[in-house]
Amino acid sequence: MANRVGFIGLGIMGRPIARNLLRAGFAVTVWNRSRPGMDALVAEGATEAATPREVAQRSDIVITMVGDSPDVEQVALGPDGIVEGAHPGLLHVDMSTISPEVTRRVAARLDEAGVEMLDAPVSGGEQGAINATLSIMAGGKEEAFESCRPVFEALGKKLVYCGPAGSGQIVKLCNQVAVAITNLAVSEALTLCIRSGVDPQRMLEALGAGAASSWQLQNLGPKMVEGDFRPGFKAEHQLKDLGHALEAAYRAGASLPGTVIAHQLFAILVDGGHGAEGTQALFKAVQELAE
């Protein structure tokens, strides 16, 4: 089992994931674009690197958890990137949610340098990252997935091999489609309930015990009612992910009408300055339509 794990991207999700790797006994080398994330992990036992290249040189597996496709391309293939620290047996695991097309392109470039790549985005949000209960969906070579299983087991409870390169990203985009549209359904149900003069807490209690129950109803519904829009997963990131889903749908010849509506509403949120709020802020956009 590879004991040296590099980690690049120490944000809301990355920091607790890297922390769980330390707790599981892995030797972790970290790099982040800003200091606070690195300082926190170094204080807990991680080793600091000056560049992604140095992370790769010191690691058997390098995990990235960054913002979007250009960020993955930069840290993987750019100057002082992972590819420049390539060595025999190096595996790059990208846990970001990005374009499947970009994933395949990066994987091909890394393969030319002798580096295996898995696209392994996650679901479960910040709390899942903290509790090591993430769902991990992976694309790439199945042998690489199996070799990385001990690392994944330190981070998540549901580990699914989805197919060749890009498959993990496609499955994650399916997750985001289902999550966003369910979020929209909860927002609409609450709007109808409140506008009709019924106690929304009682509505959530009733629906939570029946066929309408969902993770979004149980976890985001109460936050919507309470006006708690602190992020577990930011609205601006949901907007980005739905954009990738619509791009993938266009390439596949799939029609996603509900996703189009959710994407437009999240765009309204972000344009209105609410991009850093949690995805439960979608409730605001639905309420505004009822004004």
Helix (H) or strand (E) holding 134: strand 134-139
Q: Summarize pLDDT for 77-125 with one digit per residue, the tens.
A: 999 999 999 999 999 999 999 999 999 999 999 999 999 999 999 999 8
Q: What is the pTM of this model?
A: 0.94
CA atoms within 13 A on the CB side of 272: 14
| List 141, 172, 234, 240, catalytic entry | 172
SS3 state of residue 27: strand
Mark whether 172 is an active-site residue: yes
The alpha helices in the chain, defined as continuous H runs, are 14-23, 35-43, 52-57, 69-77, 100-112, 125-131, 142-147, 149-153, 167-195, 200-207, 215, 221-226, 235-252, 257-271, 282-289
Q: Summarize pLDDT for 185-219 with one digit per residue, the tens.
A: 999 999 999 999 999 999 999 999 999 999 999 99
- Domains for the chain: give ranges and CATH numbers: 4-164 (3.40.50.720), 171-289 (1.10.1040.10)
According to the model, what pLDDT value does residue 269 have? Answer: 96
Structure tokens at 99: 């374009």
CA distances from 28 to 15, 36, 98, 151, 219 (A): 12, 17, 24, 11, 32
Say if residues 31 and 61 touch (Cβ distance below 8 Å): no
According to the model, what pLDDT value does residue 2 have? Answer: 67
Distance (Å, rounded) from C-alpha 146 to C-alpha 71?
Answer: 26
Q: Is residue 155 over pLDDT 50?
A: yes
According to the model, what pLDDT value does residue 264 have? Answer: 97
Q: Which residue matches tokens 């840290």?
A: 75
Mean of pLDDT over the chain: 96
Q: Is residue 43 over pLDDT 70?
A: yes
Which burial class, exposed, middle or buried, applies to 254 when counting CB atoms under 10 A from its CB (0-12, 13-18, 19+)? exposed
Lowest mean pLDDT of 91-95, 144-148, 286-290, name the range.
286-290
